[in-house]
Structure 1
Amino acid sequence: MVTPESIRANIAQGMATDHLAVTGDGTHFDAVVVSEAFAGKSRVQRHQLVYQTLGERMRGEIHALSMKTYTPDEWQKQIQ
C-alpha cells in the first residue's frame, strides 16, 4: 500500500527540499514541496521534477497526486 510517508521518502531522496509535506488516503495524495530547485521554473517544470523522484510509482501505485510547489522565498510569503 502506498502511504504519504513512502511518497515523502521518495521525494526527499530525489531532491533537496526546504519543506516537504505529504498527506493522503492511500489513493489520492496532496504534497507541498519547497525547493530552491524550482527557481526560474514554470509550474509544469516544477511538477516534472517531483514526478521524476517518484519514477514508475506514478504509472502504477500512485493514482492521484496534487502538488503545490514553491521556492523558499515563495514559501515564506505563503506562511506569513
Structure 2
Amino acid sequence: MEATIRARLDAALKPSHLEVHNESAQHAGHSGDDGSGESHWHVVIWAKAFDGKSRIERHRMVHAALGDAMDRIHALSMDLSNSA
C-alpha cells in the first residue's frame, strides 16, 4: 500500500517533499483495523500544486490522487504545504 500511495501522490502532485508513514500498528485492535497492517496512514506533502488552494481543496486533491486506494484506507491524516 505504501508504494501505491507514493506512486499516486508523486504522479498527481509532483511534490518537492513526500513522506508516507504507516501508523496502523498504533491502531491495532481499534475500530477500522482490518488486520492488514495497512489501514492507517499519515502523509506529509510539500507541493506547488497546492498554491492558492484552501485546506479542504488540498485534502480533496490528495483523495482524488489516491482514487480507489482510498477504499482500502480507514484513516488518512495529512500535513500539506505548498513550500518547505
Whether the TM-score (by the shorter chain) exceeds 0.5 is: yes
Following superposition, which runs of at least 4 residues in structure 1 exceed 4 angstroms of deviation? Answer: none
The aligned counterpart of 2:17 is 19
The size of the alignment, in residue pairs, is 70
Structure with the larger helix share: 1
Q: Which residue is 1:28 aligned to?
A: 40
SS in 2 for 1:9: helix
Gaps of 5+ in 1: 76-80
Runs of 5+ consecutive residues of structure 2 not aligned to the other structure: 25-37
Identity %: 37
Cα RMSD of the aligned pairs, angstroms, is 1.1
When Rg is computed on C-alpha atoms for both structures, the one with the higher figure is: 2
**TM-score (structure 1 length as normaliser):** 0.79
Map 1:39-58 → 2, pairs under 5 A: 39-58=51-70
For residues 39-76 of structure 1, the C-alpha deviation after alignment (integer angstroms, 9 at most, x for no partner) is 11110001111111111221x2111110010011xx2x
Q: TM-score, normalised by structure 2?
A: 0.76
Using the TM superposition, give the Cα deviation of residue 5 of structure 1 relative to its aligned residue in structure 2, in angstroms: 2.7
